Amino acid sequence: MLVAAAVCPCPPLLVPEVASGAAPELDAARDACARAVSALAAARPDLLVVVGPTTADAAGTYPSGTAGSFRGFGVDLDVRLGPEARVAERPPLPPTLAVGAWLLQQGEWATPVEGIGVDERATPERCFEDGRKIADRAERVALLAMGDASACRSLKAPGYLDERAADHDAAVARALAGADPGALRALDASLAHELKAAGRPAWQVLAGAADATALTGRLLYDDAPYGVGYLVASWTTP
């Protein structure tokens, strides 16, 4: 059963060493992520699952201890998923899960952790069903859903300016603030793809995991630095 969830953006720039001189620009987002992750620990889960969108070839399960790095972004920084030692001969964490692992390493985390890379083109139905299965994995499950909102919020955004982006992100923000699984499930996958909203699959996995639960939502951060929507939310039991 899902007892807590956190939603965080997944840009590698969230890691100060990657952001370098631009690091202070995301300090507020980092602080919000830290609060959301702390709420996961406070829920005393038996299992934490970190979910992030990936390419199809990187989709799948990453056991606790799987290593990742930010060398591809020019930084000699390694991370691992959860408290266990590195798992030998496993594919490295994809970037979205590596950022999630970095967030967890900023605090104390002793709970078993597992990563799941979700195909960025997975259907809403598939994501929802995957989420329901995750919630059934243990008596007390926590979920960390990694993913950005639209990348079309300004002229300098990676996807240029799209007038639909602000409304799309506002709808996601309302759903996260209200802990509304139905609203997340109803997100249009085609529109999200057009707006480069990479978090859509992870949000819809969250929707499935939270189905038939009674969680309270708090939106901790909502901004669009660099023209990309970054949202941080915390869902906890009342």
Domain count, the chain: 1
Question: Which domain does 151 fall in, by range?
Answer: 2-236
Q: What is the pLDDT of residue 113?
A: 95
The enclosing domain of 92 has a CATH number of 3.40.830.10
Residues 106-136: tens digit of each pLDDT: 987 888 999 999 999 999 999 999 999 999 9
The secondary structure of 96-149 as a DSSP string is HHHHHHHHHHTS---S-EEEEEEETT--HHHHHHHHHHHHTSSSSEEEEEE---
CA distance readout (Å), 50 to 92, 147, 151, 153, 164: 15, 11, 22, 27, 29
Residues 18-68: tens digit of each pLDDT: 988 767 889 999 999 999 999 999 999 999 999 999 999 999 999 999 999
Partnered with residue 48 across adjacent β-strands are 113, 142
DSSP 8-state class, residue 61: E
124-135 and 200-209 helices, crossing angle to 10°: 50
